Amino acid sequence: MITEVTNGIQVSVDSNYQPLYSRPEQHHYFFSYRIQIENKSDYTVKLLRRHWFIFDSSGNKHEVEGEGVVGQQPELLPGESYTYESACNLTTEIGSMHGIYTFLRTADNKEFQVTIPRFQLISGYRLN
């Protein structure tokens, strides 16, 4: 698991290759990831947006932006956490992702950014 804390928000990521949903012979590799966001600050915060940077081992880069995560914009009191799962497809068996969350501090309506740490996407057979 990869973990990073930015502006009092801890983001932890764990990724997994999904062989049942992958088709290597068609250059289709499916990965899932679980993210836990923990509010270690003294303020209530709301997750507004995400911006992902997705890379494969061929050097291709793909960006994904949008509101919230998995259709949610969770609000976290100090000490609370939120966990969600999502997935991505690659055309190669190795890649990586990282990104940025935009949060709102509800006490003063100030927006701030939180780093989503870079994590690897590696198909199971490549680890052997």
- The 10s digit of each residue's pLDDT in 68-124 is 999 999 999 999 999 999 999 999 999 999 999 999 999 999 999 999 999 999 997
On the question of pLDDT at 127 being above 90, the answer is: no
- State the CATH number of the domain containing residue 54: 2.60.40.1470
Residue indicated by tokens 């709102």:
104
Q: Which domain holds residue 76?
A: 2-127
> Residue 16 pLDDT > 80, yes or no?
yes
Give the pLDDT of residue 98.
Answer: 98
Integer Cα distance of 28 and 33 in angstroms: 17
Distances (CA, A) of 55 to 25, 37, 62, 99: 20, 23, 6, 11
Q: Strand, coil or helix: what is 111? A: strand
Dump pLDDT digits (tens) for 20-71: 999 999 999 999 999 999 999 999 999 999 999 999 999 999 999 999 999 9
pLDDT at 14: 97
pLDDT of the residue at 103? 98
Q: Count how many domains the chain has.
A: 1
**Entry pTM:** 0.92
pLDDT level of residue 126 (50, 70, 90 thresholds): low
